[in-house]
Amino acid sequence: MKIQYLAVIFIIIILPISLILDSYVKSQIETLDLQILYDSKLNDATYDAIKAFQLNTVNSSTSDLVNSKMRDIEASVNTFFTTIASNFNMAGYNSDVLKNYVPALVYTLYDGYYIYSPYTNILNDTEVSSGSEYQDGEKRYGLKPYIYYSCRYKNANLDVVINYSLDNYISIQGTRNGIGISKAGYLIDNVEVSDNGNTVKYRGINIEEESPLEEYVGQTKYPYIKINGVKYYQDTDGSWFSLLNGEKSKQDTLQGGSNDAAKRYYKEAYEFRQWLTNNGILELKESDAVDENGNKLNNLVDENGDAIYQFSNQNIFTYQENNVTSIEEPTSRFNQHRLAIIRRSIERNLSIAIANYNRYTNITTNFQMPRLKEEEWDSILNNVCMISFLQGLSIGGKVYNGYAIIPNNVNEEVVTEDSIYIAERNDALGNPGSYYKVGDKTLNTQDLNNYIGVFNVDFQRKSIPNVNQDAGTTQWMYYYPKPQLGSYTSIVNETNKDERLGDNIYQYLEQPGLEQLAKLYYTALGRERYGMYKLERNADELKQTYM
């Protein structure tokens, strides 16, 4: 056969294959581009939603209350669907259509989380009325009841439920030898308290009372005390007020002067640990963890069946390894167990919510929870964050199945180890000065007598109403509670970080020469955690101790 004939046969065979392959490659590229575009749109909508939640909580004096928090989350959800509808508008999707492809939104908070997804409303006969907004058996899309980071433990003497949080605060309810017990507090080690209670040390650092705290409200600086999540300011005439959504609200007279919140924090943690010891809580083992039916908890495993975390026979609260010297360090047995419990709860309930979504939609997609990466779980378990899911949209060669995780590390929910900055009270010229992260090398060369530890939220812009009575108008005045400016090399790009700073800030502060820095940091950490809102506290009784 002549070579010309072979060439013709080759072209006849190869050309269609080449055209098909070219079309297939183009289709795959278009699908990949579309997936990247959808990922970006989903990520932007999630970021807008968590930013809206942050702004609402920072500027609301009632954000700790349940109804107010639910209101802020509802507003955040609306922001999410508004943004995502705007982003997908060119693709022909509006918010009503897109809701069919969003099986769940998750808001992880301080001691639990909300899942925003469809549910069937169940009402008792006495709750059903013809004029009611809610009907029995109605399918609704909204916030499900709050789920705590909790686990049940059972042994020969104890049957208790422990609620965990994003830090070392735990609450315990249950029975010991058939008698009810209930207590909550911060679980920390290395606290020493003198017999008369006047001397308090943490990790060998003497914790002392601070000078009065001050911050701006509008253009005026006031001394203040923070009690159970509320800041009380002392006015120029000696009276006290708090801010209720920007408006001054008169309060009872409180005791001004020095601030002893840090000492209270460590003393109460010391007493809480004694209570745990006396009631046998510190003897609990991981193997005592059971589910709601009393069955032993199964180990956490990945998609290959390999163990992510094993519920061993080790003690939860006192067992230490790998040079861990305290229970609050990130690699302690307690913290590893705490994170495993939180992850198990979120993964279990979220999987159920997404799987159940198939009963609420006419979309043919099989909705199911995707496998999250370990670094993504690290972000979820250590921050207030939002998780969004978008599934079932056609992107050419396949069906889109995406999710976005956006953390929020500046919020009123939790004081983490990274939430404390070290701020200069004023510089040599009397200017406001700067603030730094704890591991910045600049702090190693400064006399820190003129510095103070500050909660990072206090550097965020806030607003109050400014009423013009003559004009009969109200405008919002924006201000910063703390006047210091963030150090660019510390806050923005972190190019001046101390090489000795690793993942464990407690071990870093034990370095020689950092005693003064450690004192500022531990004092601020204790003060801010003590001032946070806690459901278990009686706010009026706590307030009485400041009168």
Residues of the chain with pLDDT under 50: 63
Residue among 269, 414, 385 nearest 328 (CA): 269
Residue among 132, 152, 134, 150 nearest 142 (CA): 134
Query: Which pLDDT score is estimated for 136?
Result: 66
Q: How many structural domains comprise the chain? A: 2
CA distance 265 to 300: 34
Within this chain, do residues 157 and 306 fall inside the same structural domain, yes or no?
A: yes
Q: What is the pLDDT of residues 411-434, one digit of tens each?
A: 888 999 999 999 998 766 678 889
In a domain, 366, yes or no: no
Query: Which pLDDT score is estimated for 288?
Result: 94
Within this chain, do residues 172 and 298 fall inside the same structural domain, yes or no?
A: yes
In a domain, 180, yes or no: yes
Within this chain, do residues 184 and 305 fall inside the same structural domain, yes or no?
A: yes
Within this chain, do residues 183 and 314 fall inside the same structural domain, yes or no?
A: yes
What strands lie across the sheet with 485-486, from one edge to the other?
451-455, 420-424, 434-437, 485-486
Number of residues that this document lists for the chain: 547
Query: Which pLDDT score is estimated for 48?
Result: 94
Query: Which pLDDT score is estimated for 456?
Result: 94
Give this prediction's pTM: 0.88
Query: Which pLDDT score is estimated for 484?
Result: 94
Angle CA 158–284–147, to nearest 5: 80
Within this chain, do residues 158 and 302 fall inside the same structural domain, yes or no?
A: yes
Query: Which pLDDT score is estimated for 305?
Result: 67
Q: What is the pLDDT of residues 121-165, one digit of tens each?
A: 776 666 555 556 666 667 778 888 899 999 999 999 999 999 999
Within this chain, do residues 168 and 315 fall inside the same structural domain, yes or no?
A: yes
* DSSP 8-state secondary structure symbol assigned to residue 361: -
Angle between helices 261-278 and 515-531 (to 10 degrees): 80
Query: Which pLDDT score is estimated for 403?
Result: 94
In a domain, 305, yes or no: yes
Residue 432's domain comprises 417-531
In a domain, 433, yes or no: yes
Q: What is the pLDDT of residues 263-278, one digit of tens each?
A: 999 999 999 999 999 9
CB 490 within 8 A of CB 442: yes
Query: Which pLDDT score is estimated for 503?
Result: 86
Within this chain, do residues 325 and 421 fall inside the same structural domain, yes or no?
A: no
Within this chain, do residues 310 and 453 fall inside the same structural domain, yes or no?
A: no
Query: Which pLDDT score is estimated for 522?
Result: 97
In a domain, 314, yes or no: yes
In a domain, 4, yes or no: no
Query: Which pLDDT score is estimated for 472?
Result: 64
CA torsion, points 152, 154, 160, 165, in degrees to nearest 10?
A: -40
Within this chain, do residues 160 and 309 fall inside the same structural domain, yes or no?
A: yes
Which amino acid type is present at position 433?
Answer: G
Within this chain, do residues 321 and 468 fall inside the same structural domain, yes or no?
A: no
CA distance 365 to 494: 44
In a domain, 8, yes or no: no
Within this chain, do residues 316 and 457 fall inside the same structural domain, yes or no?
A: no
In a domain, 484, yes or no: yes
Query: Which pLDDT score is estimated for 247?
Result: 80
CA distance 520 to 500: 18
